[in-house]
Structure 1
Amino acid sequence: MTRGFWLLVSALIAAVLIPLLLGGTGLLGRLLDFPLDLLALMLGMILVCWNINAIRLRLLLRRLHRTTHLRALGIVMASEFAFCATPGGAGGPLTLMALLARRGVRPAQATAVFAVDQLSDLLFFVFALIGILIYAVFHALSPHVGWLLGGSAALLTGVIIVVLGVARYHRTVLRTNGRLLRLLGMEPLKRLHWGRKVLRFRNALQDSLRMPKTVLVSVFLLSSLHWLLRNSILYMTLIGLGSTIPWAWTFLVQMLAMTAGQASLLPGGAGSAELASGALLTPMVGTATAGAAILIWRFVTYYFYLIAGAPVFIHLAGRPLLKRLIRFRRPQP
């Protein structure tokens, strides 16, 4: 087994140990007192999220490929498993494009579908952060959290501006990249090959964005519903543990924790997300409650994705792609 597999195993161990150490001796009691019906409800919310994303995928593919809801659901679950199991989530888009390619969707078209999907997510988070900023104006806000909130909003807005700028001035970007690749010594045929790939992606993205406005708005609304449900998990977890803090703050904790997890490039942000959320939650609810909340929240939004998604991934993508993503290698005899 190669380094990628052991990295995933180490990240999972760290993800469990951090909340256990944070919760201390009071953690077990908190976990035993947590209502099982509430846990079942939260797992059901994740199932609803997967179905929402399946509907969103079918809307984005309607002009490229007709697929059943069950198959779209399988693609979503397999892609999100790969996202959670690979460093930096790199396996998610790779799995999505591989599964769509098997159904006749060209790589440029699949990449464009993924890009539109991600843009709708970015728009939701920008609007959500603006809403939290408005909420914070009328409530007590520490300068530290204020800087985090403002910085996150500025970063997401900057990403959207850069994406729109690249789309608007793509010819200038292509010429600049061509000059840079020439300076780096890339052969003319290879430069032409990559330039054609970028243009195919640009054309496919334009086709996706030319879909009826009702479809694009529906995709955005479905994306918003998905993230509202998923980002309510921590709030409901704290309610089950007997600690209530405003939903807006739990949303902010989750967003900052997952940002830290992505920046760490560990599979699913395991370890980093727990550290960041622990640092933000402990001053609000105490160590025992914070440790229990993190363990339950991550079980629902991370471990459950791995447990439920693994058999779906194996069925749809097969072991060869799994070995390629996590880089299994059998020892040579």
Structure 2
Amino acid sequence: KIFKKIKREGFIERIEGFVDEFHRGSKLIFKRSNIGGIVAVSILTILSWFVGFLIPSCILIGLGHNPVILQSIAAQILLLVIIMMPTTPGSSGVAELGASALYGSFVNTSILGILIVLWRFITYYVNIIVSAIFQYKVLRSLLKR
């Protein structure tokens, strides 16, 4: 039903407008005269990754256990490298098994399963849910134009 309402020509023009706006914004950020913008974007990116790497430690604190921050961050970095390898098809569960193997060496086995389920839900499924909500709103706004 949604795609029946979309007028193909107008929809493509709006997408091209979004792409042009993104291109202009990228040019503005990465101008040589805008070194401060590049540094700010780099710092925010590093901060964003760091906060993501702290999620398992926060879960461990919430479960009343030692957060083992340095080992957890190291495990997250290694796990990220493993997850980003294009191992599909058949890569279902690689993140969970990898996290179990890495965290199993320094987290009590009685809470390992809970840690992995909560970590995966927060870092993966919440992103999907929030993205779906925003995507729905974007599509609705495109259809109203």
TM-score of the two chains, using structure 2 as the length reference = 0.70
Give the match for residue 32 of structure 2: 210
Conserved? CA contact 1:261–1:270, under 8 Å: no
Conserved? CA contact 2:30–2:37, under 8 Å: no
Give the match for residue 63 of structure 2: 241
Give the match for residue 49 of structure 1: none
The one-letter amino acid paired with 2:125 is Y
Give the match for residue 75 of structure 2: 253
Task: Number of aligned residue pairs: give it.
Answer: 126
Matched, 1:308 2:130: yes
Paired residue secondary structure (2:85): helix
Give the match for residue 103 of structure 1: 18
Q: CA deviation at 1:294?
A: 0.9
Output aligned runs, 1:17-166, within 5 Å: 101-103=16-18, 105=20, 109=23, 113=26
Distance 1:104 1:234 in 2: 36
Give me the CA root mean square deviation.
3.1
Q: Which string of whole-angstrom CA distances, capped at 9 and with x for unpartnered residues, describes residues 31-72 of structure 1?
A: xxxxxxxxxxxxxxxxxxxxxxxxxxxxxxxxxxxxxxxxxx
Distance 1:302 1:259 in 2: 16
The one-letter amino acid paired with 1:253 is A
Distance 1:264 1:232 in 2: 25
2:117 to 291, 295, 313: 295
Identity %: 26
The one-letter amino acid paired with 1:309 is S
Distance 1:247 1:100 in 2: 43
1:272 to 94, 103, 113: 94
Distance 1:270 1:255 in 2: 19
Q: CA deviation at 1:292?
A: 0.8
Kindly tell me: are residues 213 and 280 of structure 1, through their superposed partners in 2, closer, same or farther at Cα, counting changes over 3 Å? same
Instruction: Specify every segment of 5 or more residues in structure 1 that has no aligned partner in the other structure, as ranges.
Output: 1-98, 114-203, 319-333
Distance 1:264 1:315 in 2: 31
Give the match for residue 9 of structure 2: none
Output aligned runs, 1:3-18, within 5 Å: none
